[in-house]
Amino acid sequence: MSETSIRAAVYLRISLDRNMDGLAIDRQREDCLRIAQDRGWQVVEEYADQSKSATDKSKVRPAYNKMVADYDAGRFAAIICWDLDRLTRQPRQLEDWIDVAQENGLLLVTANGEADLTTDSGRLFARVKAAVARSEVERKSARQSRSQVQRAEQGRAPKGVRPLGYATSGDVVEHEAVAVHEIFRLFAIGDGPSIASIARGLSGQEGQDVPSSLPHLPKHSRTLVIERNARREAEGLEPRPVPNDGPWVSSTLLGILRNPRYAGYSVYTDRLDRKENKRRTWHAQILRDGDGEPVGGQWTPIVTEDMWWRVQERLNAPERITNKTGSTARKHLGAGLYLCGVCEKPVRTHGQRYRCEGHVMRSRKQVDDWVLSIIRARLGRPDLRDVISAVDEPRVQAITAQIDTHRAKIKRAQHDYDAEIIEGRDLKRVRDQANPAIDALEAERRSLTASADLGGVLDMPDPVAAFDGAPLMIQRRVIDFLATVHLYSHPRGKKTFDPHTVSVVPKHS
């Protein structure tokens, strides 16, 4: 072999995750060396990685990395690999190779065709190959959640943490099921109590808007730890600390109301969902058969399908209002919003006054002026943005991540359609799947982020002016979001307003 012959590297990779063409490494090597021989190239180095996926850049491919370094050092000018798939399935890495090929003239040859990255057609070929490989990767990840889906197809109870109302076996836990049914029944009423009110009822609280028909239950997370401890004890293990009981929160109830299992639908949670929200699988989806019909689970439903769907409708309604500030059309700023300083019940309007019978009777105008002055001062503070980010709970972030995933899927499909990799009907199918999911997720996010319910007041350049110009309903929500207002009785005979008799405590300091 002459000194002037092109120096080439051979890259071999066996990936055990591909059983369809798990080609022996010897066969790859044989093919690659034959290519070198045919072209009169001099193979200066051989790189081989085993059992490493080309798709996951977090997985280490030591030989691949060494090859990149050696190429940068000018040790060879050509790479021979059995298939482009063997080199990389990451579009980003491929673009890197294309860049260096254009700069330095890298020759890249594969056993099933030449991918000359220095020419337009070669680059197009490489990109199409990479796109095809990527869709294959997506099919593979679908295969991996196959066993989970198989379980669901057989209508068996999903593995994992038991939901309120069902034992791990799928059997009904009677006293919890009673609560679940009541939660659904109350929320299915079109003009019924809000999720927050139902949460208060479940926590054993009382109040004007709080339904009294709910049993008082300890928080489910606490029950689960106690049960787990019983199992640990049976195994001779130390018990884990049991969290204190506390009030139920709206997000837990939302998870219950969204769970199709209660209507007897078999469910699955896809892999992406689990990855993005490691703490819990909350977004279970109804499993459907080939005709699009829901697959039934083998467990006893706690609510009827009709009730479950009525609840979803109310949850999805864009005008859904979860807090007390909008539950009925109020005419006055503080009615049902300000609380009586004696009994904690919301005050009602009584003529020109706010009243809690037998406890408090206050001039509406005096109280409202004072409350508004404090709210305006709060809205004018430069740290208002901190208040908004303070409500960004991890759950909201998880929802946002899911929305991003769906959007990225659509974008990718559009890109693949433009590149003529997929057909119009494929693009439509992707859109038809993703868009309703995005709508539902956005509705959930709206319900969780108060600031979105505040008519954008907090996001305006001048929040004070935006607040002053906002309709009464929005003003009430802003007040409710920022502060708790208590009214105390005014000392008799005192003419001037005493600010100490109206307490405005910020909810976020």
CB of 486 to Zn ion, least distance (A): 10
Which is nearer to Zn ion, 343 or 390 (by Cβ)? 343
Helix (H, G, I), strand (E, B) or coil at 349: strand
CB of 208 to Zn ion, least distance (A): 10
Lookup result for tokens 């009214």? 487
Q: What is the DSSP letter of 294?
A: B
- 32 within 8 A of 81, measured Cβ to Cβ: yes
Which is nearer to Zn ion, 257 or 356 (by Cβ)? 356
Stretch that binds Zn ion, among 148-156, 307-315, 354-362, 494-502 (CB under 5 A): 354-362
CB of 215 to Zn ion, least distance (A): 27
Stretch that binds Zn ion, among 82-90, 148-156, 338-346, 458-466 (CB under 5 A): 338-346
Nearest Cα neighbor of 131 from 384, 416, 339, 370 is 416
Which is nearer to Zn ion, 371 or 438 (by Cβ)? 371
Distance of CA 30 to the CA centre of its chain: 48
Taking CB under 5 A as the rule, does residue 128 contact Zn ion? no
CB of 355 to Zn ion, least distance (A): 9
The encoded tokens of residue 494 equal: 């005192």
| Interaction pattern, residues 355-394, with Zn ion; x per rule: CB under 5 A | -x--x-----------------------------------
| Interaction pattern, residues 285-324, with Zn ion; x per rule: CB under 5 A | ----------------------------------------
Cα–Cα distance measured from residue 498 to residue 491, given in angstroms and rounded to the nearest whole number: 9
The encoded tokens of residue 168 equal: 């791990």
Cα–Cα distance measured from residue 429 to residue 45, given in angstroms and rounded to the nearest whole number: 46
- Residue 494, judged by CB atoms within 10 A of its CB (0-12, 13-18, 19+), counts as exposed
CB of 343 to Zn ion, least distance (A): 3
Taking CB under 5 A as the rule, does residue 340 contact Zn ion? yes
Give the C-alpha distances (Å, rounded to integers) separating 111 from 56, 125, 384: 24, 14, 62
Q: Determine the size of the site formed for Zn ion (CB under 5 A).
A: 5
Instruction: State the residue number with the nearest CB to Zn ion.
Output: 340
Using CB under 5 A, pick the residue from 124, 161, 237, 343 that binds Zn ion: 343
Cα–Cα distance measured from residue 164 to residue 151, given in angstroms and rounded to the nearest whole number: 21
Nearest Cα neighbor of 378 from 482, 451, 239 is 482
CB of 356 to Zn ion, least distance (A): 3
Which is nearer to Zn ion, 356 or 398 (by Cβ)? 356
Looking at the DSSP assignment, which residues form a beta bridge with residue 348?
355
Q: Please give the residue ranges that form the binding site for Zn ion (CB under 5 A).
A: 340, 342-343, 356, 359
